[in-house]
Structure 1
């Protein structure tokens, strides 16, 4: 279903002079891409004067449902192939999605790690409150897989619809820990610490991107997908903690 980046990662980021693109571009993207895509959007606009990029971030499953329900959008970037499959199965993709980065879970805890969390088993200790993403959201599916690999069973005090919401529970002091992506913990490093755990290696999420079939701005959509897979954009993503496919 998804194709790896391959040699396309070196494609020219900007459109050629003969293929100059203009107009508005709407991108629906997984919440974990927020900081990176905000920067990539600015860079894309700078490389293509006349284009205005608007992002809508959220849980990938919810965004996929918006697309299949007919919400106008040009590009979809998901946090898992499973949520992308919802869009491709509905016939709403303009082509084959391409994986552009990967992401891995960490345990986010407040600065200083007051509960002394060192691994997944510590999340089951008495008095430790945990937030997880809902299972239908990619970060929730990855968390379920990692917990199963560690043979750890826990009851979260809340299930959130995207990774940013799960992380906010830690930042606000409402929970003692949450399973979030490494990139989100890094972006919130002033408020939280990210605890690595070995089981996360077996629950790494691929991030696919695709231009949408009914994109209002098909030319800009194709150009943006190409740009996201270019070296300048991949550098922004890897600097944020994402991994190359």
Structure 2
């Protein structure tokens, strides 16, 4: 008679213990699941998963800063390699729409970016990541005493400009038109670096380029600021391309360019915040 209540009590304890263990197990499973879903590696590639080459088509004026950013990106993501094709934004856009394999396009103006978006070759909406302002580059010592934009129209002064189809050329023309000035250069160059090189080699007396280019060529040219440049500032958009061969690493590179760390490099190069 005394064993029956004891047996019942033991059974109740066993059942209660089993229920408690099941409840704890369920909580643990739920916690593990929540932890997994909040983990950076869940549903997305972690930094260690990024591999391979990222091909970036970028405006010539981005050469120094993007080269530095590429090196920093590679250091942060071992196993990746960033390669660049720098040039006039219009020519780069034409190459992309003609099928040139690339992952990222960084243009020096929304107009040249539109060539790519209109052709449906962008994977998403371009984002402006920096802006750039014009400056007059002159031979060291400024022997021709260029002090204003109007000085570039002086008789006998040799000036090089970017081609009007190139963002720096379109911006220069906008500044000239805004000031009511007419200028016939001795040459039109296909990108801003070529226009700057004309001054560095002393083939011309002056050229209208970006502040970032004057800063990058410090010691080889001098810069002359002019107020009309404030009305011709260029926005620089960047976008992932639709048929990017290495989309995941390309997205990470774009994110790095737009990060605080990337912004610091670009700011030090002379670019303006978007």
TM-score (normalised: structure 1): 0.93
Aligned position for 2:86: 57
My pick for the range that moved more, 147-156 or 15-24, is 15-24
Q: Distance in 2 between matches of 1:61 and 1:170?
A: 23
Cα offset for 1:127? 1.3
- The partner residue of 1:173 within 202, 216, 227 is 202
Q: How does 1:44-193 map to 2 (within 5 A)?
A: 44-193=73-222
Per-residue deviation, residues 101-156 of structure 1 (Å, max 9, x unmatched): 00000000011000000011101111100000000000000000000111110100
| Structure 1: 5+ residue stretches without partners | 1-11
Cα offset for 1:18? 6.7
Aligned position for 1:195: 224
Q: Distance in 2 between matches of 1:18 and 1:77?
A: 23
Aligned position for 2:60: 31
Cα offset for 1:19? 6.7
| RMSD of Structure 2 on Structure 1 (CA) | 1.3
Does residue 239 in structure 1 map to residue 239 in structure 2?
no
Q: Distance in 2 between matches of 1:173 and 1:114?
A: 11
The aligned length equals 232
Q: Distance in 2 between matches of 1:133 and 1:105?
A: 12
Look up the SS of the partner of 1:87 in the other structure: helix
Look up the SS of the partner of 1:91 in the other structure: coil
Look up the SS of the partner of 1:235 in the other structure: helix
Q: Distance in 2 between matches of 1:50 and 1:95?
A: 26
Q: Distance in 2 between matches of 1:48 and 1:131?
A: 41
Look up the SS of the partner of 1:208 in the other structure: strand
My pick for the range that moved more, 218-227 or 28-37, is 218-227
Cα offset for 1:17? 2.9
Q: Distance in 2 between matches of 1:56 and 1:18?
A: 25
Aligned position for 1:3: none
Per-residue deviation, residues 179-237 of structure 1 (Å, max 9, x unmatched): 00000000001111110000000000000000100000011111111110001111000
Aligned position for 2:252: 223
Q: Distance in 2 between matches of 1:46 and 1:120?
A: 43
Q: Residues 57 and 18 of structure 1: is their aligned pair in 2 closer, same or farther, counting only changes over 3 Å?
A: closer
TM-score (normalised: structure 2): 0.83
Query: Relative to total residues, which structure has the larger helix share, 1 or 2?
Result: 2
Higher relative contact order (CA 8 A, sep 6+): 1
